[in-house]
Structure 1
Amino acid sequence: MSADADLIARYLDHLRHEKRLADNSLKAYAAALRLLGDSAAQAGTPLPRVRHAQIRSWVTRMRTAGRSPRGMALILSGWRGFYAWLGRNGLADANPAQGLRLPRRERLLPKALPVDETVRLADASVPQDSPWHEARDAAIFELLYGCGLRVSELTGLNVAASDAAWQGGQGWIDLSAAEVQVLGKGGKRRSVPLGRKAVEALRRWLAVRGQVAPASEDAARALFLGRHGTRLSVRSVQLRIKRRGALTGASASLHPHMLRHCFASHLLQSSQDLRGVQEIMGHASIAATQVYTRLDFQHLAQAYDAAHPRAGQRRK
């Protein structure tokens, strides 16, 4: 392994074990650093000796090749983090990825379904392989929409607290307190309240969960199992939610993160408590939560256009 490849591997280990980044985030960082390593190798420059002018030229090359502003921003963020880590460890004397201006990227609003449609999807009777699948998928939907969990947070939940859960970086449910203890991004833990519907759905699921034997010690702790007795995967949840949306006539292609958007948007519409929603969502910055205030205004504008007698003048 070359010296540069070793530095990248060590940094990714740092992100995995100390920062506790999710698998998808790690893959994105690894791809960005492979691009950095390839660019440095073509220039004949070791990674610790890369300079600002070189980074600027590589960003320009990405822009000329048609890479999106969002994609370039993600890559450059990965490069900045890598050089910040090198600097903290005395392996680089400057961060060459700092101070670069990228094209302004369009801020896309998250997609959320209307309240009545989301509630209809939650209450809908969905054809399933068995009552076991029906109880499990109903509980999954209630946790995603009723608690605003990320899909990785949901699949990492255990039935109860344990030393293994703390050590393994997993969350758990506490039905007696009507709470779910979540391990979020960056290894940050938070408590999220469980609503009545979620508690009822979880009780129904736990009553039948034992019908499938766990295939491992980890699966024995897992809240949600697949039909082969293993911890349910992120991809499986995505497919089950998409299937539910298709069978119940959702107005958009349904996915777990859309339910998280629905949770935040609907809660904010009702409570107007931005800080509270930020805390429950596990957002590090209030700016991430403020996106939902713009989504709320978009819904209000659509309602105005559809219902107000003077709206026709606004559309002209």
Structure 2
Amino acid sequence: MMSGNSRDALATAYLSHLVNERRLSPLTCESYARDIAVLLHFADETSLDQLRIHHIRRFVAQRHGKGFSGKSLARMLSAWRGFYQYLARDHGYTCNPCTGVRAPKSPRTLPHTLSPDEAANLLDFPVDDDPMALRDKAMFELCYSSGLRLAELIGLRPGDLNFSDGTVRVTGKGGKTRIVPIGSQAARVLSEWMKLREVLVKPGATALFVSRYGRNISPRSISHRLKIQAARQGIGANIHPHVLRHSFASHLLQSSGDLRAVQEMLGHASISTTQVYTHLDFQHLAKVYDAAHPRARKKEKP
């Protein structure tokens, strides 16, 4: 039977593989680490090479019974499958007990987006002489302008900006890079931030966006600052950086109708992932129809 220390060593080696060989982002690696920790907890005294499909199904059922969604369980299973694939490749494991196990389906929820007016309101705040307000405005404008994920925003370096052609080079999932346009308002604020960053930045800090102390800013700090700004602007929804990405995609699709271009700018590997925004657009059209078309008016109950 494999000891707990041996299992921990295998998990540590796998996470190191994700960082050094697959070069996944720190946020993605943290997610994998949590999922692998869940597997080790469920396995308890059972050796990893003794786990079978009925064990995995029971683990998933227990997790589902605690209220975890089908989406989170699917992600967890994907992490477990990847772990066993690594164990087969590097440690001689012959069975992947996660193969063939599917997460329970959960209702598909559409991503929350801001209306164009709400997005404009959120970003319309003065910076005055506050360096952090200028930095926040530059971050939020860039997220909305170019549809960046939080991890992509964190990973930006000053050299990724190209003001001459108005683009930013983004490193997305799996280390794939793409070139995305920057809106004129975002470019203006970013130009101002770059001058201030030169004054603030400390040796060793490489990120485009740094803290008031000149160090690389954390994802948690960005999310917190956005929530504060949304509250100040009177936007009551639960605003987080991905809402800006969703809003970018929805607004761009509504105005252009070019699904393939939106897919490329978002960095989606499959266009089916991008198609969720066509449902958002349809929701908007349905509301307009229901409000305006004579045949759409609901009959009053007698």
TM-score by length of 1: 0.86
| Cross-structure match for 1:145 | 144
Q: Which runs of 5+ in 2 are unaligned?
A: none
**SS of alignment partner, residue 170 of structure 2:** strand
**SS of alignment partner, residue 239 of structure 2:** coil
Q: Distance in 2 between matches of 1:47 and 1:226?
A: 43
What is the deviation of 1:65?
4.3
| Cross-structure match for 2:211 | 226
Counterpart residue type for residue 7 of structure 2 = D
Counterpart residue type for residue 238 of structure 1 = S
| Cross-structure match for 2:225 | 240
* Greater displacement, 186-195 / 57-66: 57-66
What is the deviation of 1:188?
1.2
| Cross-structure match for 1:118 | 119
Q: Distance in 1 between matches of 2:300 and 2:286?
A: 11
> Pairwise CA RMSD of aligned residues?
2.2
| Cross-structure match for 2:15 | 12
Counterpart residue type for residue 215 of structure 1 = K
| Sequence identity (%) | 45
Counterpart residue type for residue 23 of structure 1 = P
Are residues 1:286 and 2:271 paired?
yes
Q: Distance in 2 between matches of 1:63 and 1:121?
A: 36
Contact 1:80-1:95 within 8 A present in 2 as well: yes
| Cross-structure match for 1:253 | 238
- Write out aligned runs for 1:150-189 (5 A): 150-160=149-159, 172-189=160-177
Q: Distance in 2 between matches of 1:2 and 1:233?
A: 31
Counterpart residue type for residue 174 of structure 2 = G
Contact 2:27-2:151 within 8 A present in 1 as well: no
| Cross-structure match for 2:180 | 192
When residues 145 and 67 of structure 1 are mapped into structure 2, their CA distance, relative to the original with a 3 A threshold, is closer
Are residues 1:24 and 2:23 paired?
no
| Cross-structure match for 1:165 | none
Are residues 1:215 and 2:202 paired?
yes
What is the deviation of 1:256?
1.0
* Stretches of 4+ aligned residues off by more than 4 angstroms: none
Contact 2:74-2:102 within 8 A present in 1 as well: no
Q: Which runs of 5+ in 1 are unaligned?
A: 161-171
- Write out aligned runs for 1:292-311 (5 A): 292-311=277-296
- Between the two proteins, the alignment pairs up a number of residues equal to 298
- Residue by residue over 1:152-177, the C-alpha shift from the partner in whole angstroms, topping out at 9 and shown as x without a partner, is 211221112xxxxxxxxxxx211122
